[in-house]
């Protein structure tokens, strides 16, 4: 029975994890921690014994400290890990940034409801900051050399739904996110500015980001853009979608600064559009 184990769900009992670790560690691919009572020692045993784990789900683990995940980005633990769910975690901003910066092999990351997640800025200087190794603008030759050596991030899906303290998202080309396909920032109600340059991004959800005012996109393969209930104005949307040459679906319902009478301008700015969802009456 142990030899066929693929998934372990932890409900806070260390003994259960301990026995499973030593008997089936070569066959466990998914770890799900659904309890608020998991102690740091549990994470230590996960990192030490479960090298083939591909999916690690740590939803709402209140004992997940800022140093709990250090083995992932400081000691190369769980080298096969692809999907990491930290939804409603209490990790600090710097811990999340360093994790995203070093674990370039992750393909799916869920940060839903992370209250300590602030600006998602992957273009700052000073080295390991805001989730990516970036360049200082003070040394041109060294910066260009460092940039060329930065690894391509394998991240495909980033979920930051309901991160109430995010105010700005900046993902430039230098962040090496060429694999990013899906970005969900919906319900981040204090988000004011989004500046994203991801050439393969196909799906961007900014619905219910009520404070959104600035939108800059360099996403030539974007096919779906959701702006429902955003405070952004028509001119900003028009400029943003002008570079999205493959955009097919645009949702601007319940945007108070965009009227249904302005759909012609949006279609002219982005001829590839096939579907525009808007409020029935002009506002």
Backbone angles phi, psi at 261, to 5 degrees: -80, -5
Per-residue pLDDT of 12-50, as tens digits, reads 444 444 444 444 455 567 777 765 555 555 666 667 767
Q: Is the pLDDT of residue 53 over 80?
A: yes
- pLDDT confidence of 262, banded at 50, 70, 90? confident
Cβ density class 231-268: b for 16+ within 10 Å, e for less: bbebebbbebbebbeebbebbbbbbebbeeebbeebee
Helix (H) and strand (E) counts in the chain = 7, 17
Per-residue pLDDT of 71-112, as tens digits, reads 888 888 888 899 999 999 989 999 999 998 899 999 999 999
Per-residue pLDDT of 150-202, as tens digits, reads 678 999 999 999 999 999 999 999 999 999 999 999 999 999 999 999 999 99
Q: Alpha helices, DSSP H only, in the chain?
A: 14-24, 40-49, 70-74, 93-102, 140-149, 234-241, 263-269
Report the 10 Å Cβ neighbour count for 144. 10
Count, residues in the chain: 283
Question: What is the C-alpha separation between 117 and 152, in angstroms, rounded?
Answer: 23
Top-tier CATH class for 85-277: alpha beta
pLDDT for 165 equals 95
Is residue 27 helix, strand or coil?
coil
pLDDT for 64 equals 80
CA distances from 268 to 13, 27, 74, 245, 263 (A): 59, 55, 50, 12, 9
Provide the whole-model pTM: 0.83
Nearest CA to 18 among 40, 47, 45, 50?
A: 45
Contact 273, 266 (CB under 8 A): yes
> Where are the chain's structural domains?
1-60+77-81, 85-277
């Amino acid at each position: 029975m142990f030899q066929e184990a693929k998934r372990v769900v932890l409900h806070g009992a260390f003994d259960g994890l301990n026995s499973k670790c030593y008997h089936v560690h070569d066959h466990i691919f998914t770890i799900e921690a659904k309890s608020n009572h998991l102690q740091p020692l549990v994470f230590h045993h996960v990192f030490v014994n479960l090298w083939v784990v591909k999916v690690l789900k740590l939803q709402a683990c209140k004992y997940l400290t800022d140093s709990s995940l250090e083995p992932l980005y400081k000691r190369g633990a769980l080298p096969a890990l692809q999907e990491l769910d930290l939804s409603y975690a209490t990790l600090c901003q710097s811990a999340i940034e360093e994790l995203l910066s070093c674990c370039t092999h992750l393909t799916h990351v869920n940060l839903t409801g992370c209250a300590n997640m602030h600006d998602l800025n992957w273009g700052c200087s000073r080295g390991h900051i805001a989730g990516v190794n970036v360049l200082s603008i003070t040394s041109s030759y060294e910066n260009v050399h460092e940039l060329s050596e930065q690894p391509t991030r394998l991240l495909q899906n980033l979920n930051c739904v309901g991160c109430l303290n995010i105010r700005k998202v900046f993902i430039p080309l230098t962040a090496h996110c060429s694999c990013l396909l899906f970005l969900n920032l919906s319900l981040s109600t204090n988000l004011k500015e989004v500046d994203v340059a991801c050439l393969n991004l196909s799906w961007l959800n900014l619905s219910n980001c009520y404070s959104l005012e600035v939108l800059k996109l360099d996403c030539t393969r974007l096919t779906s853009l959701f702006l429902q209930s955003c405070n952004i104005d028509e001119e900003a949307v028009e400029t943003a979608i002008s570079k999205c040459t493959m955009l097919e679906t645009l949702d601007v319902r319940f945007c108070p600064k965009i009227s249904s009478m302005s759909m012609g301008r949006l279609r002219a700015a982005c001829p590839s559009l096939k579907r525009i969802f808007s409020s029935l009456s002009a506002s």
